[in-house]
Structure 1
Amino acid sequence: MEAPALKPYYLPADAVWFITGCSSGIGQSLAQHIAVTFPTQRVVATARNVASLAAPELPDGPNILKLALDVTSPPSISAAFDETLARYGRVDVVVNNAGYSLMGDAEASPVGNADARALLDTNFWGAVDVTKRALNIFRDSNPKTGQIGGVILNVSSMGGVLGSPGSAYYHASKFALEGFAESVSKELKPEWGIHICNVEPGGVQTKYATSSLRLIEPRHPAYAGGLTDAMLGFINNRELHKVFARPEDIAVAMCEIVGGGKEIPMRVSLGSDSYGLIKQKLEKQMEDLEKYKELSCSMGDPKLDHVTNLVG
């Protein structure tokens, strides 16, 4: 079934934003945009190294709280949220933005997949643990201040809907996050007023190809000259990135999604590349679905209302 219908969300004028991964890119741009454009709102900007949040990248002020946060550490998550509640009393929007990418041939990942597991710990499990604490605060803590519910924005990617060569583990983390979020959204009671949205940017002019990108090395020789090489060449060609969206534009769009006084959707693609490629993927998926409809429907009881009512 669909997630229970929610009323449109109205962001408070003094909203409290809790944003992970603010040292650069989308997280930093979002924190800056809120601080400058909506000075009555409060921003909790977090990063593994709190020194990376120093001014002028992010201004200081009574409505800015800069905290160290390692999303792979549950005690660190608890400490950051506890300090936020002690300072502001509630949290209205939680943005799961912390993450990085791992590129290379999946087969070449070392035995035990330590590099891939570390990526999942940040991109997926980190967001899961932040989300779980956020749900508790939205449901149990916020009403004590007179504010009901809140919003979780997951910075996913068009890579949470479609896969590209050389980034199997990154895509796995984003697919997992999107599936987790969709399922959780259907568990929540409407009266809690909790909204979840996966934002799916396409290419963004961030440090994706530098400090936010790690490589699986050494490369597997069998894949030389394949599509992973082509993708790595594209990622490393900074000139080609000029057509990407600016992180500032992504930040403005995220504020519009949350602050527009409208129903918040489960997914929003951001960028013409994201929109176009996701649309293409879904059209091909529908084509394949219809092509194999007869085979698909040739087994099981066709009267599955009791299942579709639960799963949707």
Structure 2
Amino acid sequence: MEGPAPKPYNLPADAVWFITGCSSGIGQALAHHIATTFPSQRVVATARNPTSLSAPEIPNGPNVLKLALDVASPPSIDAAFDEALARFGRVDVVVNNAGYSLMGDAEASPAGNADARTMLDTNFWGAVDVMKRALSIFRDTNPQTGQVGGVIINVSSMGGILGSPGSAYYHASKFALEGFAESAAKELKPEWGIHVCNVEPGGVQTRYATSSLKLLEPRHPAYAGGATDAMLGFIGNREAHKVFARPESVAVAVCEIVGGGGGEGRRRRIPMRVPLGSDAYGLIRQKIERQLQDMEEFKELSCSMGDPKLDHVTNLVG
């Protein structure tokens, strides 16, 4: 049975942030924002290629540690966390940001598609392995320093709630991450003080459509002129991206979720999910409303089987 939620989180003044995928985009913006706005806080900025973590995008200084980290490699994850602990003694906030996208026709992908599996190793399994190490640090290591618990922020996407054409494998990775995070969060004892949140940005002005986008090839001829082509056209239209959120805005929002803007002393209830962007909020709400309509339409069929008194199941699932 699911226990009570942990108490609201109080971000310490000297919080240690551990951020994956800092070579560009949201990760880079978040590391920069913390290092330049909250000088008493510490930042562990990581990327597969540490040469991409250069100043001024990510400033140098005694409170900034730049590390190589390939989230698809468990030994690399352990090495990065070990170095962070050796430098700062604890980790308070872990931001799972590393990832990329893969677009194309789902049917066209060959059996055992290597590109899709590699993307899932990064977007899903990499994030899972980072979460597992973070949980152990929050529970077992942090209390030794006098700081209880911590926060895991998974940078998911509105694509972790709703699917769009041409991105079946990307959406699968984000749906899987959100399901894993929700289930794992319900396993945690409230006295551990551990919080898990999936942030779900909509369109963001990052490298999503360029270096962070891979294409499933060859394309399936039957889908020519269809919905995937339309989506690829939109993704490739740089003019259309001008209405997207800036990575800096997402960085500020993450700090607001964790600590009321990043400052000390403001206790925050950290929710399981937060859409970021009016597009994400609107489209996710629209999907939920459609789901409710479908549920009401088929309610009689849905409830026509099993024992209607399922309180014990409800209490277990939460």
Q: TM-score range by the shorter chain?
A: over 0.9
- Structure 1 runs not aligned, ≥5 long: none
SS at match of 1:129: helix
Question: TM-score of the superposition, structure 2-length normalised?
Answer: 0.97
Structure 1 residue 4 corresponds to structure 2 residue 4: yes
| Structure 2 residue aligned with 1:59 | 59
Amino acid at match of 2:277: G
- Structure 2 runs not aligned, ≥5 long: 261-266
| Structure 2 residue aligned with 1:104 | 104
- 1:9-158 to structure 2, matched below 5 A, reads 9-158=9-158
SS at match of 2:136: helix
1:268 to 262, 270, 274: 274
| Structure 2 residue aligned with 1:228 | 228
CA-to-aligned-CA distance 1:45-68 (integer Å, 9 cap, x gap): 000000000112211000000000
Q: Is the 8 A contact 1:152 1:197 kept in 2?
A: yes
Taking the aligned partners of 1:103 and 1:254, their CA distance within structure 2 comes to 27
Question: Which stretch of the first structure deviates more once superposed, 54-63 or 279-288?
Answer: 54-63
Taking the aligned partners of 1:7 and 1:188, their CA distance within structure 2 comes to 13
Q: Is the 8 A contact 2:6 2:192 kept in 1?
A: no
Q: Is the 8 A contact 1:3 1:185 kept in 2?
A: no
Taking the aligned partners of 1:102 and 1:55, their CA distance within structure 2 comes to 30
Taking the aligned partners of 1:155 and 1:142, their CA distance within structure 2 comes to 23
CA-to-aligned-CA distance 1:226-256 (integer Å, 9 cap, x gap): 0000000000000000000000000000000
Amino acid at match of 2:310: L
2:290 to 284, 297, 306: 284
CA-to-aligned-CA distance 1:171-190 (integer Å, 9 cap, x gap): 00000000000001100000
Percentage of matched positions with identical amino acids: 83
- How many Å apart are 1:199 and its aligned residue? 0.2
| Structure 2 residue aligned with 1:200 | 200
1:308 to 305, 311, 314: 314
SS at match of 1:14: coil
Question: TM-score of the superposition, structure 1-length normalised?
Answer: 0.99
Taking the aligned partners of 1:149 and 1:41, their CA distance within structure 2 comes to 17
Taking the aligned partners of 2:198 and 2:224, their CA distance within structure 1 comes to 35
SS at match of 2:45: strand
Q: Is the 8 A contact 2:202 2:276 kept in 1?
A: yes
Q: Structure 1 residues 52 and 218 mapped into 2: Cα distance closer, same or farther (>3 Å)?
A: same
Q: Is the 8 A contact 2:165 2:228 kept in 1?
A: yes
- How many Å apart are 1:112 and its aligned residue? 1.3
Between the two proteins, the alignment pairs up a number of residues equal to 312
CA-to-aligned-CA distance 1:41-98 (integer Å, 9 cap, x gap): 0000000000000112211000000000000000000000000000000000000000
CA-to-aligned-CA distance 1:101-136 (integer Å, 9 cap, x gap): 000001111231111100100000000000000000
Q: Structure 1 residues 145 and 45 mapped into 2: Cα distance closer, same or farther (>3 Å)?
A: same
Q: Is the 8 A contact 2:5 2:190 kept in 1?
A: yes
Taking the aligned partners of 2:112 and 2:174, their CA distance within structure 1 comes to 21
